[in-house]
C-alpha cells in the first residue's frame, strides 16, 4: 500500500504468532465460592495422599493456580473472597495482592450444610458496589464465581418487572 510504513523492522517467521506488547490493566478480582454441601462430592481423581478430591478441593486448587498466573502477568492485581451459601458473605473483604493471605482466605472455607437455594441478589449488589470503587481507582473489577448448586433459580429484573426466570438444574 502506498503511504504506509512498516511498523516493525523484525519479521515474524511463518506459522508463529506473536502479540504486540500492551499495557495490562490492574484488576480487582472477587472470587465467590459456592459452599453448598454438593461441593463435598468426591470426584474420580485422587490426590497425592490417595484421598479423592472433592469439588471444593478442585476449586481451591484452580483458584491458587489462577492467582499465581495473574500475579505473574501483573503484580498489581488484587483479590478478595466471598462465599455463597443461602446468600453471599465475605471471607476476606479487603482486596490484596498478597498470595499468602489469599491462600489462607480460600483454604479456610467450610461447607454450609444448611444452605439451600442460593440467593445471588446480594452477590450482584456487592459486585456493583465494588465495581464503582474499582473504577474510581482506575482498576477493572472481575467477579469469578464457582457455582455448584444444581437447583438454582435466577430472576432477571429490570425496574420492578421480572423479565425471565430460567431454572438451571437436572
What digits encode the pLDDT tens for the residues 3-27? 444 444 556 667 777 767 667 789 9
Ordered alpha helix ranges (H), 84-169:
99-107, 121-136
What are phi and psi for residue 45, nearest 5 degrees? -90, 140
| pLDDT tens digits, 108-153 | 777 766 655 666 788 888 889 999 999 999 999 999 887 665 444 4
In this predicted model, what pLDDT tens digit does every residue of 99-117 receive, in sequence order?
A: 998 888 877 777 766 655 6
Q: What region, left, alpha or beta, does residue 108 occupy, with left being phi > 0 and alpha being psi -120 to 50 degrees?
A: alpha
C-alpha neighbours within 13 Å on the C-beta side of residue 16: 7
Residue 117 neighbours by CB under 8 Å, 6+ apart: 86, 149, 151, 152, 153
Phi-psi sector, 40: left (phi>0), alpha (psi -120 to 50), beta: alpha
Amino acid at each position: 500500500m502506498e503511504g504506509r510504513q512498516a511498523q516493525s523492522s523484525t519479521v515474524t517467521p511463518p506459522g508463529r504468532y506473536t502479540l504486540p506488547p500492551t499495557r495490562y490493566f490492574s484488576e480487582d478480582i472477587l472470587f465467590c465460592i459456592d459452599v453448598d454441601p454438593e461441593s463435598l462430592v468426591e470426584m474420580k481423581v485422587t490426590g497425592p495422599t490417595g484421598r479423592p478430591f472433592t469439588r471444593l478441593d478442585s476449586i481451591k486448587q484452580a483458584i491458587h493456580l489462577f492467582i499465581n498466573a495473574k500475579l505473574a502477568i501483573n503484580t498489581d492485581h488484587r483479590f478478595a473472597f466471598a462465599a455463597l451459601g443461602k446468600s453471599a458473605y465475605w471471607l476476606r473483604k479487603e482486596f490484596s495482592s498478597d498470595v499468602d493471605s489469599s491462600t489462607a482466605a480460600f483454604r479456610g472455607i467450610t461447607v454450609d450444610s444448611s444452605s439451600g437455594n442460593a440467593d445471588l441478589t446480594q452477590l450482584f449488589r456487592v459486585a456493583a458496589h465494588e465495581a464503582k470503587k474499582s473504577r474510581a481507582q482506575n482498576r477493572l473489577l472481575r467477579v469469578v464465581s464457582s457455582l455448584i448448586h444444581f437447583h438454582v433459580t435466577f430472576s432477571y429484573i429490570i425496574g420492578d418487572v421480572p423479565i425471565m426466570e430460567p431454572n438451571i438444574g437436572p
